[in-house]
Structure 1
């Protein structure tokens, strides 16, 4: 069976009132494109599944989870199931507009981009609870990861399939998909896309997600800089702590030899903690190095990806 040009992955959770217009708009936007639509139903408790079955066409597949796993897992499942050369992702709440997809696909194909990311030019969300936290999070992510996009929260993106399917989506890392794509060597660009106010259903996000973003950012920075060399971060901090601890302990020993009573002094406790903590950090780095090597070698994984191979056509002389 011939693979389509484009797979559109849409995550839905309790969106029963949005399904009919969502599918109608998506099918209309994709007319003239060889496509498939993959809907991932993330453990809905309403009639989302029934609505999809009522309105889905023959090019649509529905993946039904047995419970709610979250958006990252839903995206990962849809991307894994996709068979197209390009994969588009979007939310099922009608705030993303499917009519933007053909233009993004054309840009990716004609200009050889691996990822074309949407940027909500006129975002239709609450200013205090959504826009301000989003702007702060975007600024922090952009300046710490050095992946220079303006809108990390927009799900509407088009990827080359091999990039999307090798990103390794876990936990709640969907906010950091551009960073994961960059780690795969992706060439990325950003385009303005339409954004609509939510009409049906309720938002699944709140202010609490800001703290999750910050926690995930620490993980992403570790993945980005130290995943293949954990000893560099654990060992560096460990050696620094160990060195300071040794200096403090030598100083306290000198005071003891000079006849001063050092028992109970905070400096003595600090030296002991830094000494032991330094040893523990170095040990953690060594263990992490062993785990990384086991991860790659036990599964015959490579620490690199070859983008292309060219075979010369001239005979040897």
Structure 2
């Protein structure tokens, strides 16, 4: 069987009311394209699976996780299964519009872009809980990573398959996909896409995600700037720490020679706790992340387990894969 031109990867979690209109809109939008649709069911507790089986056509593959893993892992699984020359990703909540995909694909092909990212021109989300945190996060990511996109939170994107399938998605790094793609030398552009208010279901995002994004940003900056030369980071911090410690020690030595009692002074205790403790925590987190990546990639292990795969309405892979 020849490869399709486009694989559309859609993540769904508790979206039973959205499945039918989602699939109908997707099939209609892609009617003139050689496509496949890959739905990743991320451990839903409602009738999402039943709805997909009911309305899926023969070009649709359904991946059913044994539990909820999160959006990044679901995207990684769908991208792993994709066979198209290009891969499009989108959310399953009907806020992304599949009618934008053909135009994005044409732009990628005609102008030879590796990634075409969606930019929600008229975003239909809450101002305080969604738009403001998103704008702040976008500004921070854009100016720290130097990857200048306006909307990191829009899942609707089109990639060349070789870019998407070599990004190494782990944890909750889906917001940083443009940064991961840029590390591979991808040529990227943006285009305005439609965005709709959520009609069915509830949002899985909240303010608590802001702190996770900031933590992931630290990791992304490390991989972007220091992964191949970590001594430039840790060596610099080590030298700074050593110099600060030496200055404190020299200052306390002078006081000691002048006859003053230096034991138990806050400057000595606080200095040791903040400097040594801070460096230890940061380096421990980064080293742990490297160990996780080494564990999975060196043994070709996946960060998820698929319970079953359906092609159209027929099961093609049973549990255990």
Shorter chain as normaliser: what TM range? 0.7 to 0.9
SS in 2 for 1:190: strand
Contact 1:242/1:276 (<8 A) preserved: no
Superposed, which structure 2 residues align to 1:36-47 within 5 Å?
A: 36-47=36-47
What residue is the counterpart of 2:163 in the other structure?
Answer: 163
Cα deviations across residues 270-308 of structure 1 (Å, max 9, x unaligned)?
Answer: 565588679979x97xx89x979x88x978xxxxxxxxx
Deviations 1:97-134 (A, max 9, x none): 11100010000011110000000111111112111111
Secondary structure (helix, strand or coil) at the match of 1:9 reads strand
Greater C-alpha Rg: 1
SS at match of 1:36: strand
Partner of 2:119: 119
Aligned to 2:84: 84
Contact 1:89 1:156 survives alignment (8 Å): yes
Structure-2 separation of matches of 1:78 and 1:157: 14
Give the secondary structure class of the aligned counterpart of 1:129: helix
Displacement after TM superposition at 1:183 (Å): 1.1
Correspondence for 2:107: 107
Report the Cα distance in structure 1 between the residues aligned to 2:108 and 2:271, rounded to whole angstroms: 57
Q: Secondary structure at the match of 1:255?
A: helix
- Which structure is higher in RCO with an 8 Å CA cutoff and minimum separation 6? 2
Distance 1:185 1:129, change over 3 A: same
Deviations 1:149-171 (A, max 9, x none): 11111100000011101111111
Deviation at 1:67, TM superposition (A): 0.6
**Number of matched pairs:** 297
Distance 2:179 2:140 in 1: 13
8 Å Cα contact 1:89-1:157 kept in structure 2: yes
What are the residue-to-residue correspondences of 1:54-65 with 2, within 5 Å? 54-65=54-65
Q: 1:280 & 1:46 partners in 2: Cα distance?
A: 43
Q: Is the 8 A contact 1:183 1:224 kept in 2?
A: yes
Q: For 1:239-278, what aligned pairs fall within 5 Å after superposition?
A: 239-269=239-269
Q: Distance in 2 between matches of 1:272 and 1:136?
A: 34
Q: Residue 67 of structure 1 corresponds to which residue in structure 2?
A: 67
Q: What are the superposed Cα offsets for residues 231-274 of structure 1, whole Å, 9 maximum, x if unpaired? A: 21122111111112122212322332333332233344356558
For residues 294-313 of structure 1, the aligned pairs below 5 Å read none
Q: What TM-score, normalized by structure 2, do the two folds share?
A: 0.85
Distance in 1 between residues matched to 2:123 and 2:275, nearest whole Å:
52
Aligned to 1:166, the other structure's residue is in SS state coil
* Conserved? CA contact 1:238–1:278, under 8 Å: no
Distance 2:56 2:291 in 1: 45
SS of the residue corresponding to residue 8 of structure 1 reads strand
Q: Is the 8 A contact 1:246 1:271 kept in 2?
A: no
Pairwise CA RMSD: 2.8
- 1:1-317 paired onto structure 2 within 5 Å: 1-269=1-269
- TM-score, normalised with respect to structure 1: 0.86
Q: Is the 8 A contact 1:94 1:196 kept in 2?
A: yes
- Give the secondary-structure state (helix, strand or coil) at the position aligned to 1:25: helix
Structure 1 unpaired stretches of 5+: 300-317
